[in-house]
Chain A
Amino acid sequence: MAEYVGQPVLRYDGIGHVTARTRYVDDIQLPGMLYIKVLTSPVHKGIIRHLDTSAAERMPGVAGVITAKDVPGKNAYGLIPDQPVFTPEHIRYKGERIAAVAAVDEDTAMEALEKIKLDIEEQEPVFDPFKAMEPGAPLVRPEGNVWEFNSGKTRKIRFGDVEKGFAEADVIVEGTYTTATNDHAPMEPQVSVAYIDETDRLAIYTVSQDLYFHLGMLTAIFNLPMNKIRYIGGTVGGGFGSKNDIHCDHVAGLMALKIRKPVKYRLTRREETAYTTKRGPWTFYFKDGVKKDGRIIARYVKTVHDTGGYAGMGPYVVDKNSILVAGPYAIPNVWVDGICVFTNKPPASSMRGFGIINGTAADQLQTARVAEAIGKDPWEVHFINAWREGDLGATQFKVEAAGLIEAMKRAAELAGIELPAHLKAMSSRGR
C-alpha cells in the first residue's frame, strides 16, 4: 500500500528551481519579440483632457501604441470588474495606466512614452479613508467613496445581543489598532509574453496564480471565447496574492492582438512596488465585554479598510475579514461593522489571507489586553474562550475539526512553558 501522504517527499520541481532549469516567463525570448512600456498617471487624481500618441507612433523602432480605444471588449477587470486596463478619462491613483508602447527594446519604448502628449486636469485627491467618508469629501468614485454591500454601507455581522453582553460583563475593554500597507515583494516581478500562435489564437505566457479565473476576465477584455486564448502558466516565482490580479497579461494581449507580433511586458521592481495592488491598510476598533473569570461574552468590532481607487478585491477582503475578525473564540454576542472605503491610492487587493491576517493582528492585541484588564494569564483567556467542536462562529458556521487547544498545548510545550494543569486537561472535543 503506497503511503506517500505524510512523507517528506522532495519537491517535484525543486531541483529545477534551484539549478535554474525551470523556465519562468521572463526567460522566454521569441523571435522578433517587442517590448512594452506603459505610460502611467503622474498625478493621484484628475481627468484626461487630451491624449495624443501620434508622435510616439511615428517614432522609429516603435511597433504600436494602444490606449483605452484599443480595448475590443470590456475595458474593465477585477473580481469586482471596475478597473480599466487603460483609463479613458478619470484618474484615481498615481500610476494608473493610460497608454502602452511596443518597441524594439525597452529604452526605445521609454523614449516613445515621452513623446505622448498628455494633458491632465489635476484634481484634489483624498488619501485618508476617514476624511473620504466625510460629507463633501472629494469623490474618488462618482457613486460615493464608501462601498455598498448587500447590507448597506457596512458588512453587518449580528450574532446574539452585544448590548446584553456588555450589560452582563464585569469589565469593558476597548482598543484601536491599525495595520499598514504591505507589498507582496515576490522574487519574480510581474511579466507577460503574448503572441499570435500558429492557429491564429492569442497565446499568453502568464505568471497568474489563477489561470481560469483570469482567463475569464481576459475573454471579456479581448472579446474572445476561452478557446481562442491559450493561457500558458502554472509555474510562478512567488505570488503571495500579487498574482491574484492581472497586471501585465491584459496589456500584452491587447498589444499582440493589435500589432500581431510577439511582445513582452515586464514590470521593474520600482513599477511593481509603486503601482501594483497592495495589502490595504486597516483601522480596527474593538469593544469587549468580559467576565472576571476571563470569558469574553460580547465583542463589538468596527473596521475600516482603505481599498484605494478601485474595488477589485477590497469588498471581498472586508467580507472575509468580517467572518473571522472576532477570533477563534466562542463569544455568544458579536457585532461586526466592516467598511470599505475608496481613496486615491493604488488598489488594495489580496495578500496572504484576504484580510484575515489583519483581523488576527488586531484581535490578538485586543485579547492580550483583555487578559491584562482582568489580571489573567493570556493562555487562560485563549484556552477558556477557544472554539470547541460544534461551536458557532459569528456568521453561524459550525466549527468542525476544532484544533486550537491542541495547537496551543504543543506550542507551550515547545516554548518551554509549563501550563497549569486545568488548561492541560482541556480539549477541543468538549468544554
Chain B
Amino acid sequence: MKKRGIGIAVGTHPAGLKGGGDPSQAQIRLKPDGTFDLLNGAVDIGQGCKTILRQLAADELDVPLENITHQNIDTDTGPMCTGTFASRVTFMDGNAVLAAAADLKKKIREWAAEYFECSPADVEVANNKVFVKGVPEKSLSMAEVGAMVNWGGKFLVGTGAYTPGPGQQFDPDTGKMTAIASLAFGCCVAEVEVDTETGVVDVLKLVQVFEVGKAMNRLLCKGQNNGGAMMGIGFGLTENVCPYYPTMDFAVQDLTDYVITTAADMPPVMVEDIVEVPHPNGPRGAKGYSEMTASLAGPAILNAIHNAIGVWVTDYPATPERILKALEAAHA
C-alpha cells in the first residue's frame, strides 16, 4: 500500500570557527585605468564567493561590477583567509572586503583633496566618479583618477581585515562558549509517499526556507538551497558508507554502492525561499548559512515517513530495509 505523509524540520546554523578567532583579510588596488583588483585568500568551492565578494566591493566603492576582478590564486598574492568552511566566507571575508573598500575610498578621498585643494571630508566617491560636493566642475572620472594616481607615482591600495573576536575555549565546568558570529535559521516541509510493501520512499515535495540575514545573491542562494536539499535527501534516505555499522563489512568503495541523490531523484516539486532578518555584524546584514541547506531535508523526510506509516524510523538513512523492519516490529 502507498501511504502519504508530511513532516517538518527546523534548525539553526552558526557562521565561522567554533570558538571564533578566525580572521580573513582583503586587499583592493586601483589600476591605472580606474578599474580594481580585489585580492583575497578565500577558496571558491562552488559556493560563489568570487561573485559575492565582488558585489560587495562594487557597492562599497560605487563602481560597475565588471570593473572589479577577484583574484585568489595563491598564498603569495592572496591575503590570509582562515578557510572556506563553517559557512564563514560571506560573513568574515565579506566584512574584510567592505573594510578594504572603505579604506581605499578614504585613500582616494585624501589623494583627491590634495588635487582639488579641499578637505578630504568634502570629497565624494560615488557613481564611478570622484568629486567635490556641490562643485560640479571639480569632478574626475575614476578612469582619470586611476591614471593620475598611478602615472603620478602613487599607489592606492585599500586593506581590510575582519575577525569575529578573539578565540574562546569552553568553560570546562559549564561549557560556556559565547563566540557565535551569527545564527541563521531554516524550516523544511517534506511530503512523501511510502510503499509499505517495498519500503521505498518517494519524496513528492520539498519546501525549504532559510533565514539568511541578507541574501547576497538570490541565484547563488537558490543553488545552495537546491544543492543542499539533494544532500539532505541522500542523508535521509540512502547515504551510508558502513551499511553494517559498526562493522566495516561491505563498507562501500565507490559510487555504485554509495548512493547519492542525482538530478533524476529530485522531488517533482521543489520550493525554496529565503527570509531576511539582518544581522548587526554581518556584511550588509548577511549571515553564514550554506551548510544548513543540507541539514533539514533528512529529518523532515523521516518525520514525514512517520506521519505516513505511523512508525518511527530513528536511524539514518531510512532505507527500505529499515522501514520494513520498523513496520514489522510495530505489527508484531
Tell me, yes or no, whether B229 is within 8 Å of chain A by CB: no
List the B side residues contacting A48 at CB < 8 Å. none
Number of B residues with CB within 8 Å of any CB on chain A: 128
Tell me, yes or no, whether B54 is within 8 Å of chain A by CB: yes
Decide: A155 near B170, CB < 8 A? Known: A1-B62, A1-B126, A408-B187.
Answer: yes
Q: Which of these binds chain B: A25-33, A240-248, A257-265? A: A240-248
Tell me, yes or no, whether A134 is within 8 Å of chain B by CB: no
Give Cα A343 to B245, complex, Å.
Answer: 12
Q: Which of these binds chain A: B115-123, B143-151, B153-161, B172-180? A: B172-180
B219 contacts which of A8, A130, A410 (Cβ < 8 Å)?
Answer: A8
Report yes or no: B172 in contact with A353, Cβ–Cβ below 8 A.
no
Report yes or no: B303 in contact with A378, Cβ–Cβ below 8 A.
yes
Least distance between A257 CB and chain B CB atoms (Å): 17
Tell me, yes or no, whether A393 is within 8 Å of chain B by CB: yes
Q: Which of these binds chain A: B9-17, B133-141, B324-332? A: B9-17
A178 contacts which of B170, B282, B316 (Cβ < 8 Å)?
Answer: B316
Q: Which of A1-40 contact B (CB under 8 A)?
A: 1-14
Tell me, yes or no, whether A356 is within 8 Å of chain B by CB: yes
Decide: A185 near B187, CB < 8 A? Known: A12-B70, A270-B253, A411-B209.
Answer: no
Tell me, yes or no, whether A112 is within 8 Å of chain B by CB: no
B211 contacts which of A3, A244, A398, A404 (Cβ < 8 Å)?
Answer: A404
Least distance between A299 CB and chain B CB atoms (Å): 14
List the B side residues contacting A175 at CB < 8 Å. 314
Q: Which of these binds chain B: A65-73, A97-105, A317-325? A: A317-325
User: B216: nearest residue on chain A (CB-CB)?
Assistant: A5
Give Cα A270 to B251, complex, Å.
Answer: 11
Give Cα A410 to B209, complex, Å.
Answer: 7
Report yes or no: A357 in contact with B188, Cβ–Cβ below 8 A.
no
Report yes or no: B175 in contact with A394, Cβ–Cβ below 8 A.
yes
Give Cα A14 to B6, complex, Å.
Answer: 36
Least distance between A12 CB and chain B CB atoms (Å): 4
Least distance between A191 CB and chain B CB atoms (Å): 14
Report yes or no: A158 in contact with B59, Cβ–Cβ below 8 A.
no
Least distance between B8 CB and chain A CB atoms (Å): 6
User: A205: nearest residue on chain B (CB-CB)?
Assistant: B74
Tell me, yes or no, whether B185 is within 8 Å of chain A by CB: yes
List the B side residues contacting A357 at CB < 8 Å. 235, 291, 294-295, 298
Report yes or no: A211 in contact with B43, Cβ–Cβ below 8 A.
yes
Give Cα A72 to B173, complex, Å.
Answer: 40
Tell me, yes or no, whether B273 is within 8 Å of chain A by CB: yes
User: B64: nearest residue on chain A (CB-CB)?
Assistant: A2
Give Cα A17 to B46, complex, Å.
Answer: 10
Report yes or no: B255 in contact with A2, Cβ–Cβ below 8 A.
no
Report yes or no: B11 in contact with A127, Cβ–Cβ below 8 A.
no
Report yes or no: A12 in contact with B51, Cβ–Cβ below 8 A.
yes
Decide: A240 near B231, CB < 8 A? Known: A5-B284, A128-B246.
Answer: yes
Tell me, yes or no, whether A290 is within 8 Å of chain B by CB: no
Least distance between B189 CB and chain A CB atoms (Å): 4
List the B side residues contacting A61 at CB < 8 Å. none
Least distance between B228 CB and chain A CB atoms (Å): 8
Report yes or no: B214 in contact with A5, Cβ–Cβ below 8 A.
yes
Least distance between A231 CB and chain B CB atoms (Å): 4
User: A44: nearest residue on chain B (CB-CB)?
Assistant: B248
Tell me, yes or no, whether B226 is within 8 Å of chain A by CB: no
Report yes or no: B219 in contact with A281, Cβ–Cβ below 8 A.
no
Report yes or no: B183 in contact with A400, Cβ–Cβ below 8 A.
yes
Decide: A238 near B45, CB < 8 A? Known: A213-B82, A273-B241.
Answer: yes
Give Cα A404 to B172, complex, Å.
Answer: 30
Report yes or no: A238 in contact with B235, Cβ–Cβ below 8 A.
no
Report yes or no: A8 in contact with B303, Cβ–Cβ below 8 A.
no
Give Cα A177 to B184, complex, Å.
Answer: 24
List the A side residues contacting B241 at CB < 8 Å. 180-183, 273, 278
Report yes or no: B213 in contact with A401, Cβ–Cβ below 8 A.
yes
Report yes or no: A244 in contact with B248, Cβ–Cβ below 8 A.
no
Report yes or no: A410 in contact with B275, Cβ–Cβ below 8 A.
yes
Report yes or no: B174 in contact with A237, Cβ–Cβ below 8 A.
no
Tell me, yes or no, whether B132 is within 8 Å of chain A by CB: no
Give Cα A6 to B279, complex, Å.
Answer: 15
Report yes or no: A156 in contact with B173, Cβ–Cβ below 8 A.
yes
Q: Which of these binds chain A: B26-34, B83-91, B106-114, B194-202? A: B83-91
Report yes or no: A361 in contact with B65, Cβ–Cβ below 8 A.
no
User: A181: nearest residue on chain B (CB-CB)?
Assistant: B241
B238-278: CB near A (< 8 Å → 1, else 0) gives 01111001111001111100101000000000010101111
List the B side residues contacting A269 at CB < 8 Å. 254-255
Decide: A407 near B85, CB < 8 A? Known: A8-B219, A365-B312.
Answer: no
Report yes or no: B83 in contact with A244, Cβ–Cβ below 8 A.
yes
Report yes or no: A7 in contact with B55, Cβ–Cβ below 8 A.
yes
List the A side residues contacting B260 at CB < 8 Å. 185
Report yes or no: B273 in contact with A9, Cβ–Cβ below 8 A.
no
Report yes or no: B277 in contact with A403, Cβ–Cβ below 8 A.
yes
A428 contacts which of B41, B178, B277 (Cβ < 8 Å)?
Answer: B277
Q: Which of A351-385 contact B (CB under 8 A)?
A: 352-354, 356-357, 360-361, 364-365, 368-369, 378-379, 382
Report yes or no: B55 in contact with A4, Cβ–Cβ below 8 A.
yes
B182 contacts which of A182, A336, A400 (Cβ < 8 Å)?
Answer: A400
Report yes or no: B175 in contact with A151, Cβ–Cβ below 8 A.
yes
Q: Which of B58-84 contact A (CB under 8 A)?
A: 58-59, 61-65, 70, 72-76, 78, 80-84
Tell me, yes or no, whether B44 is within 8 Å of chain A by CB: yes
> What are 17 sample pairs from A and B whose C-beta atoms fall under 8 A apart?
A2-B59, A4-B58, A5-B284, A127-B248, A211-B81, A212-B80, A236-B44, A327-B12, A328-B10, A336-B175, A353-B294, A356-B11, A357-B235, A361-B298, A364-B11, A368-B306, A407-B185
* Chain A residues in the interface with B (C-beta under 8 A): 1-14, 44, 94, 127-131, 149-152, 155-159, 175-183, 185, 208-215, 226, 229-241, 243-244, 269-270, 273-274, 278, 281, 306, 316, 319-320, 322-324, 327-328, 336, 343, 345, 350, 352-354, 356-357, 360-361, 364-365, 368-369, 378-379, 382, 386-387, 393-404, 406-408, 410-412, 414-415, 417, 428
Q: Apart from A127-B247, A353-B13, what 18 extra A-B contacts exist at CB < 8 Å?
A: A5-B56, A9-B65, A10-B51, A11-B219, A13-B51, A158-B173, A158-B174, A182-B234, A183-B258, A230-B75, A234-B72, A238-B45, A239-B45, A352-B291, A368-B306, A382-B187, A395-B170, A396-B176
Nearest first, the 6 closest Cβ-Cβ pairs linking A and B are A210-B83, A403-B211, A157-B175, A364-B299, A403-B277, A234-B72
* Chain B residues in the interface with A (C-beta under 8 A): 6-14, 18-19, 41-46, 48, 50-52, 54-56, 58-59, 61-65, 70, 72-76, 78, 80-86, 126-127, 169-170, 172-180, 182-189, 191, 205, 207-211, 213-220, 228, 231, 234-235, 239-242, 245-248, 251-255, 258, 260, 271, 273, 275-282, 284, 287, 291-292, 294-296, 298-300, 302-303, 306, 312, 314-317
